[in-house]
Amino acid sequence: MSDNHIYNHIQVKPTSGFTGAEIEGIDLSAQLSDEVIGEIRQALLQWKVVFFRNQHLDHAGQIAFTSRFGEVTYAHPHEDEPPEGFEQILPIDRSRFEQRYGLRRTSYENQWHTDVTAAVNPPAGSILRAVNVPEVGGDTTWTNLVAAYEGLSAPLRELADNLKAEHRFGARYNIPPTSKFAERIGKNPLVSIHPVVRVHPETGERALFVNPGFTARILDVSRQESDLLLELFFNQITKPAYTTRFRWNNGDIAFWDNRATAHLAPQDLDHIDVERVLYRTTITGDIPVGPNGFKSEVVEGAVFNRSLPKAFQQSAENQADQAVAALV
């Protein structure tokens, strides 16, 4: 992929042929001009995930930077204990998760996924800040869903353009059904129907919008056909050619377009007793639309935006009613 864009305020260095670029020459803790923000957005749209090395942001600074690109959501549909005073911050902390739920996060969350696609409006983007990462291991990998779609043969692209899929939390994770985390998911079920191919609202590109973490089944086909189609699509989006792998250091930041990427959490830490602490913010997303005009539909759950969920007090039916009303 050639770089036809001109950047006057930042330096953009691609990390692979299809996916990822490091951005140099800026301090994210400074008051960035609209021109700089515009160039970061352009680099993000082109490379799908961008990286900033050796930054010095705290929780407030991360939220402020995220807000330059859209409305910042609350932390997560199933995490209601963010750092005090920062309801938008999701800690990615294996020890915290293990203490709270008695599960090793990397033992079940080892699937490629796009953030929160169980919601009818998955986040438009995610920003992850490294605070305490191990010296060895813990890399994250991203893949380019636009390149994956474009890599399909024409007949398969035509087929995918008209398919719909169900997305839900826990679709393919190995979560013990009696665990506290399974109980929490049960109290706030999120299920949505998305187009298998979504049209990017800013670039017009088509992305293969399925992922092993949340996509449960293809609609309007048999179970066997669904399984075979998903296997084909999952294999396509995880081809090494479309990926980039990022080696974290403390202070590093990754910013990805959640509408055009999937990512894979570390695969090499379960046997190592190390801490790994990062913090994530997400940007409120739009409702995906397919090439044939199909617009994602909510089955259960609320929209994912800046308002804290009332899922633990309200029934799933009431949530669905609220979600439909909010999207009209």
Q: What is the CATH number of the domain that holds 235?
A: 3.60.130.10
Catalytic annotation on 56? no
| Residue 5 forms part of a structural domain | no
**Could you tell me the CA-to-CA distances from 316 to 19, 117, 120, 186, 302 in Å, in that order?**
38, 17, 14, 10, 8
**Whether 115 is catalytic:** yes
Asked if the structure places residue 231 within a domain, the reply is yes
Return the closest-CA partner of residue 151 out of 208, 227, 201, 200. 208
CA–CA distance, 162 with 165 (Å, rounded to integer): 10
- The pLDDT value given to residue 320: 45
> If DSSP codes are grouped into helix, strand and coil, which group holds residue 214?
coil
> Please, where are the H alpha helices in the chain?
34-47, 59-67, 94-101, 105-108, 145-150, 154-161, 180-187, 223-237, 316-327
Check residue 94 and give its pLDDT: 72
CB 112 within 8 A of CB 145: no
Q: Could you tell me if residue 6 is inside a domain?
A: no
> What is the sign, positive or negative, of the torsion defined by CA atoms of 158, 159, 164, 165?
negative
Q: 1 in a domain, yes or no?
A: no
Question: Which DSSP category does 114 fall into?
Answer: -
Please confirm, yes or no, whether 252 is among the known catalytic residues: no
Give the per-residue pLDDT at 3.
54
Q: Which residues contact 117 (CB under 8 A, 6 or more apart)?
A: 167, 192, 194, 209, 211, 213, 214, 215
Residues 213-232 pLDDT 10s: 999 999 999 999 999 999 99
- Domain extent at residue 263: 11-327
Residue 119 is encoded by which pair of tokens? 């919601």
Give me the catalytic one of 105, 113, 168, 206.
113
CA-to-CA distance for 236 and 228, rounded, in angstroms?
A: 12
pLDDT of residue 164: 98
In a domain, 3, yes or no: no
- Options 59, 94, 105, 115, the catalytic residue: 115
Number of domains in the chain: 1
217 is catalytic: no
Using 70 as the pLDDT threshold, list the residues of the chain that sit under it: 1-4, 80, 95-109, 172-176, 180-181, 309-328
Residue 299 lies in a domain: yes
Q: Is residue 320 part of a domain?
A: yes
Q: Looking at residue 319, what is its pLDDT?
A: 44
Q: Judge whether 217 and 223 are in contact, CB under 8 Å.
A: yes
Residue 81 belongs to some domain of the structure: yes
pLDDT for res 312: 38
